[in-house]
Amino acid sequence: MSSSSSASPALRILAPDEPPAFEVVNPEGRSSAVLLCDHASNAVPRSLPELGRQHEALREHTGWDIGAARLSRRLSALLDAPLVLSGYSRLVIDCNRPLGSPTSIPEISCGVPIPGNTIDAAEARARADACFWPYHRAITALLDARRDRRERTAILSMHSFTPAMPGQDRPWHAAVLYGRDRRLAAPFLEALRREPGLCVGDNEPYRVTEGGDYGIPTHGEARGLPCVLLEIRQDGLLTDEGVEAWAQRLAASYRAIEASGVDLSALSPDAAAGR
C-alpha cells in the first residue's frame, strides 16, 4: 500500500528526548489547594526552529510568565499542595486560551510579530496534541483522583504580569482575577489588601472570561470548584527574596482563608453553571 489514510504524515512536535509537556509536583499533596502554572516555561521544541529564534520575545513576558514557576514551586512546598506546570512557551500554544482563539497561537504578541506562528490547521492541531492536551489531561486526572478520594479542592492559577504595557500605568503589585466564582477571590483580595503598601487589582489589569481563558472556566467553574487566578507583577519575582516573600504572603493568605471557614466545598454542576 502506497498511500495512507491521512493527507499528510503526522507532524511530530516533541522529540522523545525532549522534556514532557507538563510536570506534576507533589501530586499527593495534602493541601486543599491545587496550583496550576500555565505559563511556566519559555522552552520551544526543536521542531519549531523559526519560533526558537525569537530570543527576545521568548525571554520577555510574551514568552512566559517570568518568575511564576519559581513562585508556584515554593508555594507548593509551603502549602504541601499539588502543582501542575506547563512545559513549553505560550508562544508554542497558550495553555490558558481556548483552542482556535486568536491568542492561542498568536501571530502577533504584544505588538511583536511572531513569524514562526503563521501555520496551517494541521500544525496547530499537532501543537495542541503535543503541548496543550497533555498538560490539561494531567490536571483533569489529578482533579478526578482528588474527587474520587473525596478531597476538598480549590484551584489557584498562578501567573505573573509585566509592569510595562504601552499606554497603561500598572500600579498594582498583584491582581486577583476571577470569573463567575468569587468565593476565593473575595477573601484573597481582602487578605492582600490588608498588607500595608500593597496595591492589589480587583479583576484588573485582566479578568477571567470564557472566551479569553481556559484553565479557570474548565478546571474550576465547570467542576464547581472554588477557583482564583493570582497575578504577581513580575518585578516582584526577580530575586530569591522576592519569590520567597510572595510565596510566604500567599501561603499565609490561603491558610487564613481556610481557617476563616469560607465554604470551599465543590458546587453541584447545576449551581456551578448558574453562578
Contact between 39 and Zn ion by CB under 5 A: the answer reads: yes
Show the site string, 53-72: x = touches Zn ion by CB under 5 A, - = not. Answer: ------------x-------
Which of 8-16, 78-86, 97-105, 159-167 is the region at the interface with Zn ion (rule: CB under 5 A)? 159-167
Nearest approach in angstroms of CB 153 to Zn ion is: 21
Sign (positive/negative) of CA torsion 41, 42, 48, 49? negative
Judged by CB under 5 A, the chain residues 202 through 221 that form the site for Zn ion are: none
| Geometric angle at alpha carbon 211, from 134 and 153, rounded to 5° | 55
Rank residues 232 and 257 by Cβ distance to Zn ion and give the closer one. Answer: 232
Measuring CA to CA, how many Å separate 238 from each of 27, 76, 107, 232, 254? 27, 19, 28, 11, 23
Rank residues 85 and 267 by Cβ distance to Zn ion and give the closer one. Answer: 85
Which of 155-163, 175-183, 195-203, 235-243 is the region at the interface with Zn ion (rule: CB under 5 A)? 155-163
Which of 10-18, 38-46, 77-85, 236-244 is the region at the interface with Zn ion (rule: CB under 5 A)? 38-46
* 3-state helix vs strand vs coil in the chain, percent to 5: 35, 15, 50
| Distance of alpha carbon 126 from alpha carbon 116, whole angstroms | 14
Rank residues 161 and 254 by Cβ distance to Zn ion and give the closer one. Answer: 161
Cell of 121: 490547521
Rank residues 47 and 104 by Cβ distance to Zn ion and give the closer one. Answer: 104
Which of 16-24, 125-133, 156-164, 179-187 is the region at the interface with Zn ion (rule: CB under 5 A)? 156-164
Residue of the chain from 127, 136, 146, 159 that contacts Zn ion (CB under 5 A):
159
Count Cβ neighbours within 10 Å for each residue of 8-23 and write b for 16 or more, e otherwise.
eeebebbeeebeebbb
Contact residues toward Zn ion (CB under 5 A) are 39, 65, 159
